[in-house]
Chain A
């Protein structure tokens, strides 16, 4: 198991992969991806008890579902770095004939992905279904899911939240990427999420808080979340991240939600992110 220093190194490489994927495809969503790089690193290199090879059914292992599919670059990087597919394949992101679709999909058979996401609000329901199957199968492993914060404006999220509490889906840990931003601006200007912790509590969930860009705190909270499972209530982790974290000119603004860096910006960003594991071979010069 990786220690904190190793995890930080991996996260730095994941951030480089995000910048390079979005630069080379001249599209994609770098902001939310950078903000969640620490979470994905913690998840795949520390938290998930997982088989080394992909099994769609997830029997006998923890499972993860991404609901806010637009942050695919961070997921693809984490999956490749965790060994699910060759890191060279990151160079095909958003290209024709690629398994790395703009938004995650099962259709092309990319290992690690169990459901398509992109149209928001659907992933929590899917994760609940997987968690129910684990209970039916007597499988003690957990189901994890990540949602965005703007995504919580979708009604299906609250249908799912109500169901999970009622049916005591207590083998489920949902993390909310609470960066406070969405495409059109800050949540508070678009549609305020209001008192988010109180909302989840009122729906009957265990609510935890964590900084999402501090590896030690994040690991501590996710471990605590695991300890709260099996007690009759679903668990939500409200994770405070900063959109664009790790690249100074991208941080804290919704402007980098769905905009790729140009060459000059990509070079400037990569200069702030140490190459720790080796870049995947890119088609160009950066």
Chain B
């Protein structure tokens, strides 16, 4: 009766710029889903969330999201909402992660004042 567990990743928004980020295997944050740490069991998911919890000063609203894995084991989103979060507005391909220069905004910035 083993429940089939879908692989999951932890996603959040960067506190400073709001961009979508994913937790990597070092417990830090990356803007690329391909670099996200993958939880293969519910326990691994909890471990990742446990690492995210104390990081309020860097990210907002961490949560577990389902992913599927391609032949090389890289995660890709299954829900359309998560697909948009990996890209940007579907009506503006020039903006967001899908744009030619997605990293023109610095994440996790200590840059400048407030």
A and B from one complex: no
Chain B interface residues (CB < 8 Å from chain A): none
